[in-house]
Amino acid sequence: MGILNSLFGKQRFEETAAVADADVSAAKPIHVTDATFEEQVLQAELPVLVDFWAPWCAPCRMIAPVVEDLARDYEGRAIFAKINTDENVQVAGSLGIMGIPTLIFFKGGREVDRVVGFVPRRTLESKLEALLD
């Protein structure tokens, strides 16, 4: 830290560290696998939005920041999860995922809504609000 303080000044380094710490504490989607899906999604006490995606999928990369923003905005009211369909084919297959991104809304362990493809944030918000009522 002595080198960083001398290069950037103590105050500047401390401000940067504080911002980094704040980002870490912000709510983010959890990463779910075939092995953890039942526990983290189906047994969850809160409603869950699950984003089925793959790294090569351009629309998946477009919707990812929207899901991350919603996770922060709905912290404590809903859970947001991501499942890589290339690595977790069992859950994706059992739910009939035919295209990605697919976002499935769960409440009480049951699927209550589904969206396939990129959609605007307001579409996801309206579906989330319906789950929370």
Using CA atoms of 37, 72, 131, 31 in order, give the dihedral in degrees to the nearest 10. -10
Catalytic residues: 57, 60
Q: Over the range 21-40, which residues count as b (16 or more CB within 10 Å of their CB) and which as e?
A: eeeeeebebbebeeeebeeb
